[in-house]
Amino acid sequence: MEVGSRTGPTPDGRFGGDAADDGGISPYFGTDKKGPTAVLKSVAKVQKNQKTNLLNQRLNVPMMRSVHGFDIWKSYMDTWEALNIAHVQFNCVSTAELKAAQKEPEKHQDLIVRVSGFSSRFVDIPTYGQNTIIARNEQHFGADDYEYINAPL
């Protein structure tokens, strides 16, 4: 986060001052468009040659609270383990809730998020850091993900 705040715009369309990354091996904000399993497969390819230290993902709240949410997450974690990925951490909180916490922090004192290897109360994080957490893609599992996580590896 800190490097991006001191860096000008880059040729890929990143504006000056925007975060340069989302930690370790996490996809840059908005670039993970093929679903969470595609992210795992990409990370696994990179980690064949180099172990990295951090993968952040923000999971879709309605899916995680659904009847099958735990089973989906467990299958996803089985895939993560089978691909020998070093580290992954999750937030399961909606963009709407994060923005509400920014607007009225006194009503969201108990909102805990994973930041970058540690947990913190969201309202205690500086606005710039809060914005980077909000910018993380809220992962949705699609048909391809369900097929992959249920397939033998």
Q: What is the pLDDT of residues 14-33, one digit of tens each?
A: 788 877 667 678 887 778 88
Q: In what order do the strands lie in the sheet with 56-59?
A: 89-91, 56-59, 138-139
- What are φ and ψ of residue 96, in 5° steps? -60, -45
**Which is more confident, 149 or 124?**
124
Mean pLDDT of 69-97: 89
Query: How many Cβ atoms sit within 10 Å of the Cβ of residue 145?
Result: 21
Closest CA to 42 of 88, 109, 96: 88
Neighbouring C-alpha atoms within 13 Å toward the C-beta of 44: 12
Chain position carrying tokens 């540690």: 118
User: In this structure, what token pair is assigned to residue 144?
Assistant: 């391809």
Contact 137, 30 (CB under 8 A): yes
pTM, full prediction: 0.77
pLDDT reading at 82 higher than 50: yes
pLDDT reading at 34 higher than 80: yes
pLDDT reading at 95 higher than 70: yes
Whole-number pLDDT of residue 153: 43
pLDDT reading at 143 higher than 60: no
Whole-number pLDDT of residue 125: 95
Whole-number pLDDT of residue 35: 83
Structural Rg of the chain based on CA atoms: 16
Whole-number pLDDT of residue 51: 67
